[in-house]
Amino acid sequence: MKKSIAAVSAVVLGVGGAATGALSASAADPISPCASALDHNVEATSAVDAHWYMACEPQFGLGKAEFTITSNEQFPAGFTLADSTETGSANLAGSGPYFSGTVGSNTTTGLFAFSPHAYIDAHTQSYGVFAAFPITSVEQFTGTLPATCTANNATYDHLYRVNYASAKTTLTQTVNGKSWKFTIPVHPQALILGLNFLDQGTGLDPARPLCAVVEGSTAYFGAQQGDGDWDTIAGRFATQNFVETLVPLTDVNEDLGTFARVVPASTTPTASGDAQLAETGVSPVPAGIAAASLLAIAVGFFAIGRRRRSAARKH
């Protein structure tokens, strides 16, 4: 089951953030970068060590997300971000090819598989996407797990921590001679995994518990396969058995926020124009404007809306 925990790092990390000094896999046990998300698998149990459990070091995680865009000027007829040119911050380079075997493509960076937009009003649209999260390192976790993970004296063969960098994706297109530009930032939290492996062969032990913690926010626990969040942890947080993989999110369809159109610097803002925003521009428009809007993505994954979900849905 999933339970919220206090948003205090000491709850997850132990006294003073004990995991801070842990060595990354690349430093303690050099392994090659994963070529794609399809490599996010548990290696042979005999090769699993304290620092990481895959045969390669992952470069990105991927999770379902949603966001809303706003403009003081009405959107042109038929406007959709899916028609935009996409560019990402430097740490998203290569994310397109990395997920091309799952939901991405070589021509996009950072955000993939846009849903048809949800029309809220002439100034507001919402989208569902898969978002890529740059991984900076993986390492052994030496801190303290929250009580949710240790109920009934549950223990784990290995504890791991996945660290992420913030990133941003900019979507730009020109309509009727005007620039329509939106920047979507993401700020992933660390992911902590408590895993148990089969004694022989490859894979997670279906008879023993699994736990995943999105640092300072939410803990997920499953006592055994088919119980609680075991399957979600195995497929969504720890491997690539589902489309999502190494997900640093607390909800399926994580709400990234509401973002305003970025007006070119050469444009003088007027009372009816968009306010000039920084490149990471979070909209000053109240987040609640999109709260009631829902949309099913064409591929059947997303529920669009501004309300945050209190519980992760199962696959």
Per-residue model confidence (pLDDT) at position 266: 62
Q: 244, 62 in Cβ contact below 8 A?
A: yes
Percent of the chain that is helix, strand, coil (3-state, to 5): 15, 30, 55
Q: What pLDDT does residue 229 have? A: 93
The pTM for the full model equals: 0.78
CA separation for the pair 64, 241 (Å, rounded)? 15
Alpha helices in the chain (DSSP H): 9-13, 25-28, 95-98, 230-232
| Residue 258 three-state SS | strand
The per-residue pLDDT for 202 is: 84
Could you tell me the CA-to-CA distances from 213 to 15, 57, 148, 247, 286 in Å, in that order? 17, 20, 9, 10, 30
For residue 123, give every residue at least 6 positions away whose Cβ sits within 8 Å of its Cβ, in sequence order, or none.
70, 71, 72, 73, 74, 75
Q: What is the pLDDT of residues 238-251, one digit of tens each?
A: 999 989 999 999 88
pLDDT at 291: 34
Check if the beta carbon of residue 89 is closer than 8 Å to that of residue 167.
yes
Q: Could you give phi then psi for residue 287, rounded to 5 degrees?
A: -60, -25
| Phi, psi for 6 (deg, rounded to 5) | -60, 140
The predicted pLDDT at position 234 comes to: 96
Count CA within 13 A, CB hemisphere, residue 184: 31
Report pLDDT for 310: 35
CA angle 1, 224, 300 (to 5 degrees): 60
Residues of the chain with confidence (pLDDT) below 70: 1-30, 216, 266-315
Instruction: Note whether 159 and 193 are within 8 A (CB).
Output: yes
* DSSP states along 33-96: BPSSGGG-S--BGGG--SS-SSSSB--EEEEEEEEEEE-SSPPPTT--GGGSEEEE-GGGTTHH
